[in-house]
Chain A
Amino acid sequence: MKIIIVGCGSVGRTLAEKLNSDGNDVTVIDTSAEKVRTITGRCDVMGVVGNGATFTTQREAGIDTADLLIAVTDSDELNLLCCTVAKKEGYCKTIARVKNPEYSEDSAYLKEQLGLAMVINPEYAAAEEIARVLRFPTAVKIEPFAKGKVELIKFKLSKDCHIVGMSVKDVAMKYRSDILVCTIEREEEAYIANGDSTFAEKDIVSIIATPKNANEFFKKINYKGSAVKNAFVVGGGGITHYLCGILERSGISLKIVEKDLATCEELSSQWLKSNVIHGDAIDRELLLEEGIDKAGAFVALADLDEENILLSVFAKSAGCNKMITKINRIDYDHVLNQLDLDTVICPKNITADTIVSYVRGMKNTMGSNVETLYNIIQDKVEAAEFTVKEKSPIAGKPLAELKFKKDVLIASITRGDKVIVPRGHDIIEAGDAVVIVSKQRGLHDVTDVLR
């Protein structure tokens, strides 16, 4: 697919790298020759120097044959203009990043009137992600699956868990829970679970289950984790603003520490339920006074990455169980993993991931029948959702009798309203939507997983 990316900031760069390694023809546009040179030296993309909103520059980048234009410059207005020009000139779909809350409230209008395929607000996306984690704090990551009926929950095993040392088969026999163990991550390696896989302390395990079944399972295995009741938030920026809105009716109360008085006043007047405190979060006494040790979760959303990391480490030492840390620089995420910060949220990464999965979905609808694509473990394991066609070789036989390739797992079967977490005796029928987890990237059809 031919993709043009306007703006070579960190999101633009991440997008260029990922979309290029997916095999797309990527052209990047930026006004800074320096930035364009850096990016074209690192990955196999073409660079055009110029203003991406001008017709000349877009034409030079090949807008006439492009399938998609992604505008991720720093300016919302420029992004929207880029998309408008592209829409007038080419036949491509357009995606714009829009940061300003005032515009993003209009996102439905913008989408329709400007013909945008997607309007992405990095801060709102980050707030959504944080809200999901707060509802299920012990999980490392939660993703809705199969149109939201089941969830993919990633969590880290502590040594009090009963299942440490057991194999997947034994766990299924002993607890008889309706869950499916999907992947196990151990020391940077990812494994697709099968019956003989064993659990060890510090493994990051992902399971697929309905929220109810998952809760039951966690109780049985002595894994502590229910929704937090209150969260301690540092910083009153855009993400906090959205977070208040999302959590308004969830029963999770927020305590927000912000140093700017005007922002404090604005927040407290708009979100009546939240508890806004005016003060500098770097002040240790203040945090202790406000009860950081008793908070269900600690969310660091200050502007500076260093401050967020420091505060999260402090919160952990003070006795808080769940930390969420916002990081802007995405280059060093593998180092951050070693700091044991639980959940790290990177708005730019979320933006890039969302766009990449949209592009994959778009590409897949062009040649294959993948409906949705999920990135379960960064660049290692993917899950793809397919609809099974009439006469498909995978349909009509018990799963146990089918010969699958190595490292492939049928994660869920959706039939009408019902979601089945598959077992060996289950049979896939035509018309079912199945989610397949695999280490093999670029699955095109459900039959690709058969040997």
Chain B
Amino acid sequence: MNFQVIKRTLGWLLIFEAIFFLVPMLTALVYGELEGIDFLLSALICLSAGFLLTRGKTKNNAVYAKEGFVIVALSWIVMSLFGALPFWFSGVVPSYVDALFETVSGFTTTGASILYGNEIEGMPKCLLMWRSFTHWVGGMGVLVFILAFLPLSGGQNINIMRAESPGPEVSKLVPKIRQTAGILYLIYAVMTVLMFVMLVFDMPVFDALTTAFATAGTGGFAIKGDSFASYSTYSQIVVTVFMILFSVNFASYYLVLRGRFKESLTEEVRAFFIIVIAAISLITLNLCLTDSAAYEYTTGEAIKHSAFSVASVMSTTGFATANFDIWPVFSKTVLVILMFVGACAGSTGGGMKVSRMLIWGKGVTNDMKRMLHPKQVKKITMDKRVVGHEVVRGANTYLVAYFMIYIASMLLIALDCQDLVTNFTSVATTINNVGPGLGAVGPNGNFAGFTALSKLVYIFDMLAGRLEVFPMLLLFAPNTWKK
């Protein structure tokens, strides 16, 4: 294990985090809030720790696969530990574990909160800005951001990018990793600005900015107690569209920019849109056809709410315009399934990813054919390209590890004596980085009622979900640290 390079990267990460703190500091300055001092203090702590860690020369800059995993896992943990400081210093969140939960939920673009609606609305604006901004930073990946700016260690940085970026297969857009990271962030930033401009006509600048950050990262922290219900229909539609856009593979946008439209509509993207449309239709029909006293929707409202909820859950954002906890069981079930499916690989969304679903689906069909014709040779293909054995195996191992964590988490959460629906969906919503679940953690609920142990479990789940399980698991595997 090359500790020097790990130390150095963590140092740079903290320096960058100190720079990120400038955003809430500026907000505090604009609104004249004293909490800005807490950010200044946190930034100074980050800077000094960062400078200490980056000091000295590293002799060996090699980042092999194991360093890549460890750097990514440690970076996310360290970044969250320091990112939680302002919440804690300001006294808005008195418990450090709660502050950490809120920050991890931000960076992993989950959007699950331990705060009640009225607490959120009473929060200083600079803290609200930091909450939303963590989504933006975490969405595309902070190390990818650093890679775009710093020549860290040359070619082997692909190991860092592979470990941080979501999806079964990570490839570059252009030969150089720095340029690839730069292009990704450019597309990301331009889309965020576009969204901000479309929203700012309809709501205050602060609201538009935080909403754009939270949507771009597919995070889901809202600055109002009722999430997104009180905004105009226009804004809700804009957010719906952008939630869907941010959960499409960014490589497709690059292909569109290069004028290769046909290639940009990959199998995964097509499947993603089919699932979105199917889910919206099913839920709309279900809402219209079921007689319920709990809600009263016109057909238009039903379409709007179902589209917003489907986009929000499948992109793993987690905004809400309606409390879907009171919807019929069928609609709720569809939404829970969508939580697991998640967004496209290479987007800012979480979940298991549509491309993995395709690989598994095709794998099952192939194996069924092979049962009928034992000698048949058949390969799994995507976009007319053979999916390598390694990739298929990786996806299968991911599934097993994912559910092992899922089961262990449910067992630990069960100590809290919540009902099974809450229990099941709370783990689903954190490990898939969605935000709201059902029951006590539904769109109108929050995670405040859990014990510190459960919160730590959720923190682990959110990080494991965002980093796709293995970096976090490897961090705790004794083999990783053996000499």
Task: State whether these chains interact.
Answer: yes
Pick from B155, B156, B174, B177 the residue with the most CB of A within 10 Å: B155
Q: Does A393 contact B (CB under 8 A)?
A: no
Q: Quick one: CB contact mask for B140-178 with A, threshold 8 Å, 1 for yes?
A: 000000000000001111110000000000011011111
CB of B174 within 8 A of CB of A44, answer no
Complex CA gap A44/B157 in Å reads 8
CB of B154 within 8 A of CB of A44, answer yes
Of the 9-residue stretches A35-43, A142-150, A196-204, A342-350, which lies at the interface with chain B?
A35-43
Q: Which residues of A contact B394 (CB under 8 A)?
A: none
Closest partner residue, chain B, to A42 (CB atom): B155
Give min CB distance, B68 to chain A, whole Å: 10
Give min CB distance, B271 to chain A, whole Å: 22
* Inter-chain CB contacts under 8 Å: number: 37
Of the 9-residue stretches A25-33, A83-91, A305-313, A372-380, which lies at the interface with chain B?
A25-33
CB of B388 within 8 A of CB of A45, answer no
Complex CA gap A20/B179 in Å reads 14
Interface size on B, residues (CB 8 A): 16
Complex CA gap A27/B171 in Å reads 12
Q: Does A362 contact B (CB under 8 A)?
A: no
Q: Does A46 contact B (CB under 8 A)?
A: yes
CB of A44 within 8 A of CB of B388, answer no
Pick from A20, A26, A40, A44 the residue with the most CB of B within 10 Å: A44
Give min CB distance, B103 to chain A, whole Å: 32
Complex CA gap A2/B174 in Å reads 10
CB of B176 within 8 A of CB of A44, answer yes
Given A41-B158, A44-B155, also A33-B176 (CB < 8 A): no
Complex CA gap A21/B176 in Å reads 11
Q: Which residues of B contact A43 (CB under 8 A)?
A: 154-156
Q: Quick one: CB contact mask for B230-273 with A, threshold 8 Å, 1 for yes?
A: 00000000000000000000000000000000000000000000
Closest partner residue, chain B, to A3 (CB atom): B175
Classify the secondary structure of B's interface with A.
Answer: helix
Q: Which residues of B contact A41 (CB under 8 A)?
A: 65, 156, 158-159
Complex CA gap A348/B378 in Å reads 39
Complex CA gap A41/B163 in Å reads 12
Complex CA gap A33/B385 in Å reads 12
CB of B156 within 8 A of CB of A25, answer no
Complex CA gap A41/B162 in Å reads 10
Complex CA gap A47/B388 in Å reads 15
CB of B159 within 8 A of CB of A44, answer no
CB of A40 within 8 A of CB of B176, answer no
Pick from B154, B156, B176, B177 the residue with the most CB of A within 10 Å: B176
Q: Which residues of B contact A26 (CB under 8 A)?
A: 175
Complex CA gap A316/B448 in Å reads 81
Give min CB distance, A347 to chain B, whole Å: 26
Complex CA gap A142/B330 in Å reads 81
Q: Quick one: CB contact mask for A1-17 with B, threshold 8 Å, 1 for yes?
A: 01000000000000000
Q: Which residues of B contact A47 (CB under 8 A)?
A: 171
Complex CA gap A2/B175 in Å reads 9
Closest partner residue, chain A, to B180 (CB atom): A46
Closest partner residue, chain B, to A45 (CB atom): B175
Give min CB distance, A20 to chain B, whole Å: 7
CB of A27 within 8 A of CB of B156, answer no
CB of A40 within 8 A of CB of B174, answer no
Closest partner residue, chain B, to A16 (CB atom): B155
CB proximity to A under 8 Å, residues B53-83: 65
Give min CB distance, B182 to chain A, whole Å: 13
Q: Which residues of A contact B174 (CB under 8 A)?
A: 25, 46
Complex CA gap A105/B65 in Å reads 46
Q: Quick one: CB contact mask for B65-109 with A, threshold 8 Å, 1 for yes?
A: 100000000000000000000000000000000000000000000
Complex CA gap A20/B156 in Å reads 12
CB of A25 within 8 A of CB of B176, answer yes
Closest partner residue, chain A, to B157 (CB atom): A44
Q: Which residues of A contact B177 (CB under 8 A)?
A: 44
CB proximity to B under 8 Å, residues A38-87: 40-47
CB of B172 within 8 A of CB of A46, answer yes
Q: Quick one: CB contact mask for A327-339 with B, threshold 8 Å, 1 for yes?
A: 0000000000000
CB proximity to A under 8 Å, residues B158-213: 158-159, 171-172, 174-179
| Interface residues of B, Cβ cutoff 8 Å to A | 65, 154-159, 171-172, 174-179, 388
Chain A to chain B contacts (Cβ below 8 Å), 12 pairs: A2-B175, A20-B155, A25-B174, A25-B179, A33-B388, A41-B65, A41-B156, A43-B154, A43-B156, A44-B154, A44-B178, A45-B155
| Interface residues of A, Cβ cutoff 8 Å to B | 2, 20-21, 25-27, 33, 40-47
Known: A27-B175, A46-B175. 10 other contacts (CB 8 A): A20-B155, A21-B154, A25-B174, A33-B388, A41-B156, A43-B155, A44-B155, A45-B175, A46-B171, A46-B172
